[in-house]
Chains A and B, each alone.
Chain A
């Protein structure tokens, strides 16, 4: 019963996203970007496929990021603000189910969205080379990494959405995304300062904030190189643990919150 209830919330979140015109616009943009990638690929002699994969994966990542942030920041806040969850929470449902259901629903949206964009990229690759090479399969690992990154961003948005306004949540998430993408640089910068306090702070930021830099495998797969198996395992565990902790924190905050 608990699983069915949580899945009902997830399904409704997915349905809301599908019926949301913003999502359609972003998908349309994704189609345009993929078409552009195709065009760039054709005018770059010799490295068409590499450019196509790079632009395609970047588009999938950017559009996924926009969808995750725009929908994620309102995931809880909108329901509290519009009071649409009052009727829901007066049913025999736990607050944690609401949070987990919302998280799963947005991730399902991102999964479907990424899948459609990936199929677009795959079709573009076929159009460009009139066939597939065995190493083309590696782009699915890179797409899997993009998905893991998006799940992590969704968890960050959900966490902020439990106690902050959408604008602040968007700012916080975006900043975390930027810092998280240059996490190694932040740690290296701390070492360069030769100041113990700054180095300690930089190391703290490195470990505390999500590290997004390891989720990019476009450089490898665009050159037909495989992604090491241990990186797949490490990134999967990292994304699951980190988003798990954030979802638990979101549940903890939301369960104690008065819905005024």
Chain B
């Protein structure tokens, strides 16, 4: 059974002041998140990431589609027992101390007073906030608020943790702390589903990612697999006769670049043998042959560019 199973989830919001029209912000999203994986949900601002997380936590209601958390429909009490949620830019009751906040939230789970105290102590330690337990949250920095946010999300030891932009607005130290917390959750066997637009974080942490663009899912898979599709080699050759340049070009993915007597090109892996043959038989000097490193960012930008021409998603009202 998948940890999170999303089937055709869509969400329309009414827009306009007098004559309200529906606008589709999430369109027919289907996705499975496996148990124990760290799953990154990528997309630029307004792509529909927060909407998806709010649908999963029952804060908003779907226009179409369904979703299950460990087989339980979203919004059901059993589904809530299994998830922990950190909202985007969390705001907690700032008149409470860290200890009071955790004690308050712990009262919503079936725990004895002793268990409550123990869990609050444990998660405060995990979040590195033990020494600030009696400090009012209004005195917390953004990074500390994010950490207390994660602490409240894992308070009841849920199997699935949903984090909405957990690294957003943090300084490098804060980001490192949150990354470490996510890695701790992964090593504890938790399923972590987090949205982000910081691709380096996703690349460092995620087993799989999904990319959302204008409310639509445009890519999903393991990072290594996604990048493999983009792999290739960078080649630099010297002393290539002008007559052979068209043949050299036919092996490359992109136009050759010339710098003095050097020619630089990017070729797919399957053309390497032909290139080496061409160089050997025509005395072309091969200066370098290096694997190309495509980042998740390159993949992301290319994917979004290729999907930019797609029309706006149709709303339920428009479709019917």
Listed in ascending order, the chain A residues whose CB lies under 8 Å from chain B are 1, 4-5, 8, 12, 15-16, 19-20, 82-84, 86-93, 256, 258-260
Contact = CB atoms under 8 A, between A and B. Distances in A.
Contacts, number: 73
B108 A83 contact: no
A86 B95 contact: no
Interface stretch (B83-91, B169-177, B199-207, B268-276): B83-91
Most chain B beta-carbon neighbours within 10 Å: one of A88, A91, A93, A256: A91
B60 to A, nearest CB: 4
13 contacts: A15-B96, A83-B87, A84-B91, A84-B93, A86-B87, A87-B90, A87-B105, A88-B105, A89-B59, A90-B85, A92-B81, A92-B108, A258-B59
A90 B58 contact: yes
Given A89-B59, A91-B105, A260-B13, A83 B110 contact: no
Interface residues of B, number: 33
A91 B105 CA distance: 8
A191 to B, nearest CB: 39
Contacts of B107: 4-5, 8
User: What DSSP secondary structure best describes chain A's contact surface?
Assistant: loop
A92 B110 CA distance: 10
A251 B95 CA distance: 26
A12 B93 contact: yes
Contacts of A1: 110
Given A8-B108, A87-B149, A260 B87 contact: no
Contacts of A4: 107
Nearest to A97: B108
Q: Closest 8 interchain pairs by CB? A: A90-B85, A92-B80, A86-B87, A91-B108, A8-B107, A258-B60, A90-B57, A19-B95
A8 B13 CA distance: 33
User: What DSSP secondary structure best describes chain B's contact surface?
Assistant: loop
Contact of B57 (A16, A83, A89, A256): A89
Contact of A91 (B54, B87, B89, B109): B109
A92 B80 CA distance: 5
Contacts of B84: 90
Given A1-B110, A12-B104, A259 B60 contact: yes
A260 B59 CA distance: 8
A258 B59 CA distance: 6
A82 B91 contact: yes
Contacts of A5: 107-108
Contacts of A15: 95-96
Interface in B1-49: 13
A19 B93 CA distance: 11
B276 to A, nearest CB: 58
Most chain B beta-carbon neighbours within 10 Å: one of A4, A86, A89: A86
